[in-house]
Amino acid sequence: MAKRARSPVVAGLASLARSRSDSALREPPNVTNVQTLLRRAELDAEKISAAIRLVVFLSLALAIFATVGVRGAIMGTALYGLVTAIGLFLAWRRIFHPAIPYFFVTFDIILVVAQVLMLAHAMGMQPEFIFQLPATGLVFVFLIHASMRFRPLLVAYAATLFVVLFELHPFLPVPDRPHPMPAMAMGGMAGLLNYQALPLTLIALAAFILFVSVRRTRGLLLASINHADRTARLSRYFSPNLAERLADDISDQLLAGRRQPAAVLFVDIRGFTALGEAMAPDALSAFLSEYRHRLAQPVFSHEGTVDKFMGDAIMAVFGSPIQRADDAARALRCAIEILEAARRWSLERQQAGRPPVAIGIGAHFGEVFAGDVGCEHLLEYTVIGDTVNVAQRLERLTREVDSPLVVSAALLQAAGEVDNTKWRRLPRQQLKGHRQPVEALCLA
């Protein structure tokens, strides 16, 4: 019964390869998966951004051509339409590079600043009053547009570029016939409300709010991806509630290696070799899948851990990675429930005209080492020690004593089991690989 290697995270969710050899249970979530999902989110954001750019272009074009437009504005809108077409093409072909959003933002900001400055000069407006033009409101549209890319630095870059470009207006030629504007006092509140100071302040505040919002959104996105990735891997071996708790435990203290008491169950199919020889490979795969699904459910319902699948064998642990006072009792109840689940499954198979299934379970309670075992490139979180060996030997003993369940006296004592009528005491067993005889009992 050779142990199968762990499948990748995404493929493993639908795979039959349910080996406990997980190479990264204590490591951060798979970086490749996180980057792939983040890239997918960025591609989707670019598609939405391209669609919004198209809406902006059509709106501007409609507004300009519905009025007596300035030739420069019409040319600028046409140029914006060309870049919009480029954006749609890149999004449709799912072509993405981190520099692409910066290119579009740079183009947008340069275009709107150039158009506003040209318009102000054509109208004879003094540079310090150009913020009176409604067209300057486009900068907020482009800032919000930039915030859709999950990149907070992109928002900061857009705002900085806009302010820097507008500060270049002193280098522009002064109109021959300046448009008359009312003089304003520069002290107190009037200075704060100056046409030049207030818009720049508003732009800076808007950029700051968007920066914080986008940074928080990106952080939540990464945290969500990490949590989902980690929970998906852990849920293959732990009950859903336990998987959620382990995924939330960022410090990974629950998975740290340590010596501790635990209850160990070994479940095996009797006569599996002969049963497997009579099945085609695809039928055998389906059989094992159903077997593991049916018999692992009681482990999860009693908040145990499926430590590993080894062919037709299932190793379950109670007390790792989370210890509870009733670990032994839950393991005992789980073993009884597994027997009942196997009995129902066998009956269903017989009614369908297929061979019945019989299983054997061995269970023991004692000290184990729980933690990572393996090499640098292949780690397995598991429990090892004499307790595991005894549980496996007791499972093999079920064939000799003709009972589906053999447990150690240590497990019954730890579980507080006092109903002696349910159990038949066996002679002290000298198990292979165990120096001291073991007191064992089987179902009466």
For residue 26, being part of any structural domain is answered with no
At 326-367, the pLDDT tens digits run 999 999 999 999 999 999 999 999 999 998 999 999 999 999
For residue 345, being part of any structural domain is answered with yes
Report in angstroms the alpha-carbon separations of 261 from 41, 48, 319, 329, 431.
45, 54, 7, 13, 20
For residue 276, being part of any structural domain is answered with yes
Share of the chain above pLDDT 70, in %: 67
Residue ranges of alpha helices (H) inside 249-321 are: 272-277, 281-301
Report in angstroms the alpha-carbon separations of 285 from 226, 295, 311, 343, 352.
31, 15, 10, 20, 18
Structural tokens at position 55 = 């809406």
* Same-domain check for residues 223 and 84: yes
Answer yes or no: is pLDDT of 54 > 70: yes
Predicted local distance difference test score (pLDDT) of residue 390: 93
Answer yes or no: is pLDDT of 11 > 60: no
At 18-28, the pLDDT tens digits run 333 333 333 34
Residue ranges of alpha helices (H) inside 235-362 are: 240-248, 272-277, 281-301, 327-351
Predicted local distance difference test score (pLDDT) of residue 132: 67
User: Residues near 327 by Cβ (< 8 Å), separated by ≥ 6?
Assistant: 261, 262, 263, 318, 319, 365, 414
Q: What is the spatial distance between Cα 145 and Cα 288, in angstroms, rounded to a whole number?
A: 52
* Same-domain check for residues 317 and 421: yes
Q: For the purposes of burial, counting CB atoms within 10 Å of the CB of 71, is it exposed (0-12), middle (13-18) or buried (19 or more)? A: exposed
* Same-domain check for residues 197 and 275: no
Q: What is the mean pLDDT of the chain?
A: 75
pTM of the entire structure?
Answer: 0.53
Q: What is the spatial distance between Cα 77 and Cα 108, in angstroms, rounded to a whole number?
A: 11
**Which structural domain, as residue segments, surrounds residue 127?**
31-230
Predicted local distance difference test score (pLDDT) of residue 394: 94
* Same-domain check for residues 259 and 223: no
Answer yes or no: is pLDDT of 190 > 50: no
H or E segment at 136?
none
**Total domains in the fold of the chain:** 2
Predicted local distance difference test score (pLDDT) of residue 142: 79
At 273-324, the pLDDT tens digits run 888 888 888 999 999 999 999 998 999 899 888 888 888 899 999 988 788 8
* Same-domain check for residues 338 and 401: yes
Report in angstroms the alpha-carbon separations of 412 from 1, 263, 416.
29, 11, 6
For residue 247, being part of any structural domain is answered with no
For residue 113, being part of any structural domain is answered with yes
Q: ∠ CA 229-231-232 to the nearest 5 degrees?
A: 65
Domain boundary among 166, 195, 230: 230
Report in angstroms the alpha-carbon separations of 362 from 117, 119, 271, 289.
83, 86, 16, 22
Domain boundary among 230, 246, 279: 230
At 96-120, the pLDDT tens digits run 888 888 898 898 888 878 777 777 7
* Same-domain check for residues 143 and 283: no
Q: For the purposes of burial, counting CB atoms within 10 Å of the CB of 108, is it exposed (0-12), middle (13-18) or buried (19 or more)? A: buried
The band of 210, judged by pLDDT with boundaries at 50, 70 and 90, is confident
* Same-domain check for residues 222 and 103: yes
* Same-domain check for residues 317 and 182: no
Q: How many CA atoms lie within 13 A of 95 on its CB side?
A: 9
Predicted local distance difference test score (pLDDT) of residue 294: 92
* Same-domain check for residues 273 and 378: yes
For residue 17, being part of any structural domain is answered with no
Where is pLDDT greater, at 374 or 387?
Answer: 387
Other CB atoms within 10 A of residue 383 CB: 23
User: Residues near 323 by Cβ (< 8 Å), separated by ≥ 6?
Assistant: 260, 261, 262
Answer yes or no: is pLDDT of 250 > 60: no
Share of the chain above pLDDT 90, in %: 23
At 407-437, the pLDDT tens digits run 999 999 999 887 777 899 999 888 887 778 8
Residue ranges of alpha helices (H) inside 66-122 are: 71-92, 99-122
Other CB atoms within 10 A of residue 309 CB: 24
Answer yes or no: is pLDDT of 92 > 60: yes
Predicted local distance difference test score (pLDDT) of residue 315: 93
For residue 12, being part of any structural domain is answered with no
Q: How many CA atoms lie within 13 A of 249 on its CB side?
A: 16
Domain boundary among 164, 195, 230: 230
Domain holding 284: CATH number?
A: 3.30.70.1230
Q: What is the spatial distance between Cα 118 and Cα 173, in angstroms, rounded to a whole number?
A: 11
For residue 110, being part of any structural domain is answered with yes
Answer yes or no: is pLDDT of 14 > 50: no
Report in angstroms the alpha-carbon separations of 407 from 6, 8, 320.
30, 36, 19
At 115-156, the pLDDT tens digits run 777 777 666 666 666 666 666 777 787 788 788 777 888 888
Predicted local distance difference test score (pLDDT) of residue 277: 85
Predicted local distance difference test score (pLDDT) of residue 357: 92
Structural tokens at position 395 = 């499972």
* Same-domain check for residues 146 and 51: yes
Q: What is the spatial distance between Cα 246 and Cα 189, in angstroms, rounded to a whole number?
A: 56
Q: Give the range among 57-66, 248-257, 321-330 with minimum mean pLDDT.
A: 248-257
* Same-domain check for residues 412 and 291: yes
* Same-domain check for residues 140 and 202: yes
